[in-house]
Amino acid sequence: MPITLSSRPVRRTALAGAAATLSFVLAACGANFNAQTLQNYQPAEGTNADSGSIAVRNALVIASEDGKGELHAVIVNNGGSDDTLVGIEQAPPGTQDGQAGGDQPTEVTFGNVKPLDLKAGTSTLLPPEPAPELAENAEAPGEPITVTGGKPGQMINVVITFGEAAPITAYIPVLTEDHYSPSPRADGESHG
């Protein structure tokens, strides 16, 4: 007598096979170009942007509630030749940079913007750090780039121009002056 399978075990086997196939298909849906492991992650508050061999890292403005502050960033020249930071200004209204907008201030001005040498293979800190002790022949650090009009919580759409590299357009955040304080200021003093 031939052995036959009843319809119940056949259905169970077919359902188990379909469930296994579906789980593989659904798992594969997360493995595309939008998969979370392929997304850039920036563990800093500021903005990162690139133009050729020039990399601007953690660009942000530290400002008081009245909208007066300084630009903070690191500019890295990964190239084989020197370049120059020529300028930074608020982007004209309607300028697109591929990012979602924000609470864009109406008028932001940048002061003390002077050409800044970006030597090949080096990084430049903004604002420049003062040397602990300046030697007689050492140059004093440059003045910080001041920012007027951007208040904490806003995003400023800026255009950063260079001598050789293409301009960068990006949104940079405005943070409070005590943002980096280890604990909140209750009496105007840092507690840390």
State the pLDDT at residue 153: 86
Q: What are the Cα distances from residue 184, in Å, to 65, 74, 151, 188?
A: 16, 26, 19, 9
Return per-residue pLDDT of the chain as tens, 192 residues: 566 556 677 677 777 777 777 666 666 665 566 665 655 656 668 899 999 999 999 999 999 999 999 999 999 999 999 999 999 999 887 666 545 455 566 789 999 999 999 999 999 999 887 655 554 544 555 789 999 998 898 889 999 999 999 999 999 999 987 765 444 444 444 433
Say if CB 147 and CB 89 are below 8 A apart.
no
CATH number of 47-131+141-176: 2.60.40.1890
Distance, C-alpha 94 to centroid of its chain? 20
CA atoms within 13 A on the CB side of 104: 17
Q: What is the pLDDT of residue 190?
A: 42
Question: In 3D, which of 111, 57, 112, 116 has the Cα closest to residue 85?
Answer: 116
DSSP H helical segments within 51-173, as ranges? none
- 127 cis-preceded (ω within 30 degrees of 0): yes
Range list for CATH 2.60.40.1890 in the chain = 47-131+141-176
* Residue 108, both tokens: 């932001």
Residue 39, pLDDT score: 59
Q: What distance in Å separates the CA atoms of residue 164 and residue 167, rounded to the nearest whole number?
A: 9
**What is the predicted pLDDT for the residue at 13?**
75
What pLDDT is stored for residue 181 in this prediction?
42
How far, CA to CA in Å, does 90 sit from each of 21, 42, 58, 156, 166?
A: 53, 23, 17, 7, 16
In sequence order, which residues have a C-beta less than 8 Å from that of residue 191 and are 6 or more positions away? 181, 182, 183, 184, 185
Q: What is the model's pTM?
A: 0.66
